[in-house]
Structure 1
Amino acid sequence: MTGDDESEVSLYPDLRDPRVMVAVPRDRRAAMTALWALAERLGKLVRDAREPLIAQIKLAWWRDMMATLENDPTALPKGEPLLAELQTDWAGKAGLGALPDAAEALLLADDGAVRSAAACDFGTALFALSGGGGGERWGLVWAATLQGEAEAAHRLFADARDRPRPSRAAVGHRALLMLDRWAGAIAAHGGERRWRREELLLFRIGLLGR
């Protein structure tokens, strides 16, 4: 990566970044931290997959766990810290299963259109679970950072760049607005990071809401 100032930050815009988390209401921060940790875990399975079948099995396990969390949270297995964190705020709530579904679709995608659709589905589901709308541009940038092939990543960044920018009202939540605009800035440069500009962007939106 190149840019103004290479820093130790996430490969993709993450709600858990302190500059973004400050815009999340205090009473929702624990729930959002667990949710976005789940997104990170699923993304890591896609990124690190050497044998797709093994990654599929792991994603299926997470899908089953999300169904159990929704329907019978007391039956969740012990010993997985992330499940314990999710149980605190997400027990009995629907929608989490959309994330492993979309991650699996991304893992198995064999062409650019399917890959983009899966990325958008993941981003849309994650933003909805986070209390807002949009998420497509973020999902495309997220998926681009998981790709092992430069051409696949380039196409996803280009798709994110060409997507219409959702309005503030459509996104709904300031923290998610920050993530969408941050993703758009990364996509505009084909994934090349401009650290100081990103910092200023987040500061402006966090302060002014636009």
Structure 2
Amino acid sequence: MSAIAPDAPETAAYPDIRDPRVMVAVPRERRPAIAALWALAERLTRLLHDAREPLIGQIKLAWWRDMAALLASDPAALPKGEPLLAELQVTWGGKGGLDTLVDAAEAMLLAEDEAARKAAAAAFGEALFALSGGEGGARWGLLWGASLQQGVADAKQLFADARNEKAPQARSFSDNKALLMLDRWAAAIAARDGERRWRSEGLLLLRLGLFGG
């Protein structure tokens, strides 16, 4: 697994729950925790994107796995000076589960074939959606995985996997409209192999925000 190559077609960034059009659907009291969680997902994604040697990437991911364990068991022992850790300490201190996100990121780092990439990408999305309070993150995860591929063919395969992934029923998101919006938004981007159509995406989010999907 490696980052998008310079000669690859422009590939869409994955939809992010912190987009104001989506975050408005998150209950106000949960927004700080959700924002910190997705900031962690972004940090892990950037780590994968920048990784040139799997071993170095694994060392960095191991550090985050250790931090996830401390967050769950002893938040006061977290090292100081890392702004994201400070946010997570406030919003996720005493809570477990963040290690599942790190594990899925590591699986993506080490994936060497189509099946492994598909499984790791779907697992990352499912873990992130579960931590966000719902289910059904596989299609989003496959789009996320496509954004990390160096080869055009590998990215296109994950776009195709996202298109072929069965659309979850709205109830799968546990009444979490924000996650429903992300899933449907990811599907729309994957349907065009990552090509962005900002106006139609905005209209889709407006419709989903008003009426659901």
TM-score, with length taken from structure 2: 0.92
What amino acid is the match of 2:38?
A: W
TM-fit CA distance, 1:199: 0.6
After TM superposition, what 4+ stretches of structure 1 lie above 3 angstroms from structure 2? none
What amino acid is the match of 1:200?
A: L
TM-fit CA distance, 1:160: 0.4
Q: Deviations over 1:63-90 (max 9, x none)?
A: 1100111011111000110000001111
The structure 1 residue matched to 2:134, chosen from 132, 135, 142, is 132
- Residue 177 (structure 2) aligns with: 174
- Residue 188 (structure 2) aligns with: 185
- Residue 13 (structure 2) aligns with: 11
TM-fit CA distance, 1:201: 0.4
- Superposed counterparts of 1:64-79, under 5 Å: 64-79=66-81
Q: Does residue 46 of structure 2 align to residue 44 of structure 1? A: yes
Question: For 1:202, what is the secondary structure of its paired residue?
Answer: helix
Q: Deviations over 1:15-55 (max 9, x none)?
A: 00011000001101110100000000001111111122111
- Residue 34 (structure 2) aligns with: 32
**Which is worse superposed, 30-39 or 187-196?**
187-196
TM-fit CA distance, 1:208: 1.0
C-alpha distance in 1 between matches for 2:66 and 2:152:
32
- Residue 87 (structure 1) aligns with: 89
- Residue 161 (structure 1) aligns with: 163
**Which is worse superposed, 102-111 or 189-198?**
189-198
Question: For 1:97, what is the secondary structure of its paired residue?
Answer: helix
TM-fit CA distance, 1:136: 0.2
What amino acid is the match of 2:172?
A: A
Segments of 5+ residues of structure 1 without an aligned counterpart are 1-9
The structure 2 residue matched to 1:197, chosen from 189, 197, 200, is 200
What amino acid is the match of 1:196?
A: R
Contact 1:124 1:135 in 2 (8 A): yes
What amino acid is the match of 2:28?
A: R
- Residue 151 (structure 2) aligns with: 149
TM-fit CA distance, 1:188: 0.8
Q: CA RMSD in A?
A: 0.9
TM-fit CA distance, 1:117: 0.4
C-alpha distance in 2 between matches for 1:188 and 1:146:
17
What amino acid is the match of 1:152?
A: D
C-alpha distance in 2 between matches for 1:48 and 1:171:
32
Aligned residues: 201
What amino acid is the match of 2:43?
A: R
Percentage identity across paired residues of the two chains = 68
